[in-house]
Structure 1
Amino acid sequence: MDIEKINGALEGCDNFLISTGNILSINDITKKVNLNTSDELVDAISFTLKEFQDNGVLQTQSDHLLVISRHNDNLKISEHELADLKIGFKVFLNSDDPDSLTEAIQKALIVLKVESINDVIVTFKQKIGNQNDNLNQIQSTWSVLENLIKKGQIKQIGIADIEESAFRALYDWAKVKPSIIQINLSTCCVVPPTLQSFCKEHDIKLLTHSDPLDLLPVESIESIFGTPLILKWALRFLIHVKCRGVLTTKGYLLNLVKN
């Protein structure tokens, strides 16, 4: 991959997006067994940049934000009626700026060319040491999700990797209650029975995941781009066909800024 060509295309641009399109159409990724999320994302970014190098797909949005994407994103949305699809986002936030969450969701809606989706799960950059969840940060972000519910852009909202006490406090405070909570079994090998009971009582989906604590480490970014960049946020989108439960599309959208 010609890093100089990529960096040359981004010269003068301090803020850009990478859209991987549907990575299920990339054989070099799908044929790998037991690929963890970080390695999958690194491969997806590298493949997208290589295709950009070969085809030069560089777009500018109305807000002057540059978007690097694949020549053929293979999203497969147009192959089905929207009513037959279940579209979900998981947003990985690296800051406590609520505008980052708004930006991530709105950019993803533009990329997928849809006006609304089924659900959004948000997670914050993992805490260091024994720091507790920042409830004020969570509430500020949750207000963004509640507003998108009100606008009809999202049907259900959830949160990942949150302490049970903070989750209960969020539930009591929220106008729109969380419908989903995701637990990382690598850090919590057994789901607390009290949390299981709470979710059952309030009809909350209790899900598990295996996403790493640091989705895209600094060293991975530098190895890809040859220069230090900051990941503001990342978003993973999944599209299922409802009647069959088949996953047809999986991809990532990332916002990177120059250091």
Structure 2
Amino acid sequence: MANHSLENIENVIVNTGNILSIDDITKKPNTNPTEELVEAINITIKEFKSGSVLDPQPDHLCVINRTNDDIISKVHEHELSELKIGFKIFLSNDNQYLVQEAIEKAFLTIKVSSVDDVVISFKQKQAEDKKDDLYQIQKVWKILESFVENGKIKQLGIADVEESTFRALYEWAAVKPSIIQINLATCCVVPPTLQAFCKENDLKLLTHSDNNDILPAESIIDIFGRPLLLNWALRFVIHVKCRGGSDY
């Protein structure tokens, strides 16, 4: 088998596919989302180095896919109307092109033309006293609204912002956020005022356990052997309606 090198690849997407089909991950039930992601990337890279075919893209991206991923067959066992599909995008900046790239590549990965919801999460600030950047959020929100207007996304959401920021976004946005996610590891009690606001406006108030930095710089170095810039990470969650759900 050929032994592929990552040394000369500068712009790459690693598609880990359906992580529920990876035994090494499902047998470790107590891992956190970052540990799962690192493990899935390592497995995908290992397959690539063992001779998997590199998938070149017309936009100069290289895509590394898992060899035996079953995500497409799983999705297409059902009609799209039977599925509830959501994306969560982990962003490092407010580059609108990268947000668009993440969504479009995700559509191509699971071969669908629309999803139910998209939640964005910005990498957390390092300084405790640094406030949310509302302008940064608004800049990304505009590109998300264009997907809603084109019928490709039904609902939008955001994770881990202050209540005042969420209210300001709600008042400003043409397409209002329908979802807010809160990490209970950093916010032990959901503010009653936020609960009331969500109830009054029929918004989904959800909790999550994602790490603030979904793929830390040290993990990237461990995986690739050198420092690289993470432009975005995207997780898709697919539920079969009336049957419960699965993370793919």
Global fold match (TM > 0.5): yes
Matches within 5 A, 1:158-197: 158-197=157-196
CA shift, 1:246, in A, is 2.6
Equivalent residue number for residue 130 of structure 2: 131
Query: For residues 98 and 200 of structure 2, what CA distance do their matches in structure 1 show?
Result: 32
CA shift, 1:116, in A, is 0.4
CA shift, 1:46, in A, is 0.5
Matches within 5 A, 1:135-146: 135-146=134-145
Equivalent residue number for residue 93 of structure 1: 91
Are 2:84 and 2:241, in contact at CA under 8 Å, matched by a contact in 1?
Answer: yes
Query: For residues 207 and 147 of structure 2, what CA distance do their matches in structure 1 show?
Result: 25
Equivalent residue number for residue 156 of structure 2: 157
Query: For residues 31 and 22 of structure 2, what CA distance do their matches in structure 1 show?
Result: 14
CA shift, 1:78, in A, is 1.4
Q: Secondary structure at the match of 2:215?
A: coil
CA shift, 1:64, in A, is 2.2
Equivalent residue number for residue 253 of structure 1: none
Q: Secondary structure at the match of 2:4?
A: helix
Are 2:121 and 2:159, in contact at CA under 8 Å, matched by a contact in 1?
Answer: yes
Query: For residues 20 and 160 of structure 1, what CA distance do their matches in structure 2 show?
Result: 23
Q: Secondary structure at the match of 2:239?
A: strand
Q: TM-score normalised to the size of structure 2?
A: 0.95
Please list every run of at least 4 consecutive aligned residues from structure 1 whose deviation after the TM superposition is greater than 2 angstroms.
none
CA shift, 1:194, in A, is 0.2
Query: For residues 51 and 222 of structure 2, what CA distance do their matches in structure 1 show?
Result: 22
Q: TM-score normalised to the size of structure 1?
A: 0.91
1:24 matched to 2:20: yes
Equivalent residue number for residue 69 of structure 2: 73
Q: Percent identity?
A: 59
Deviates more, 1:22-31 or 1:71-80: 71-80
Matches within 5 A, 1:1-259: 5-8=4-7, 11=8, 13-75=9-71, 76-129=74-127, 130-247=129-246, 249-250=247-248
Query: For residues 58 and 82 of structure 2, what CA distance do their matches in structure 1 show?
Result: 31
Query: For residues 23 and 113 of structure 1, what CA distance do their matches in structure 2 show?
Result: 17
Point out which structure has higher relative CO (alpha carbons under 8 A, 6+ apart): 1
CA shift, 1:5, in A, is 3.2
CA shift, 1:69, in A, is 0.6
CA shift, 1:71, in A, is 1.1
Are 1:55 and 1:71, in contact at CA under 8 Å, matched by a contact in 2?
Answer: no
**1:53-81 CA deviation, whole Å, 9 max, x = no partner?**
23422101221211001112211111111
Equivalent residue number for residue 257 of structure 1: none
Query: For residues 58 and 151 of structure 2, what CA distance do their matches in structure 1 show?
Result: 23
Gaps of 5+ in 1: 251-259
Q: Which amino acid aligns with 2:162?
A: E
The root-mean-square deviation of aligned C-alpha atoms, in Å, is 1.3
Q: Secondary structure at the match of 1:67?
A: strand
Gaps of 5+ in 2: none
Are 2:4 and 2:50, in contact at CA under 8 Å, matched by a contact in 1?
Answer: no
Q: Which amino acid aligns with 1:239?
A: I
Are 2:117 and 2:154, in contact at CA under 8 Å, matched by a contact in 1?
Answer: yes
Are 1:6 and 1:49, in contact at CA under 8 Å, matched by a contact in 2?
Answer: no
Query: For residues 50 and 120 of structure 2, what CA distance do their matches in structure 1 show?
Result: 34
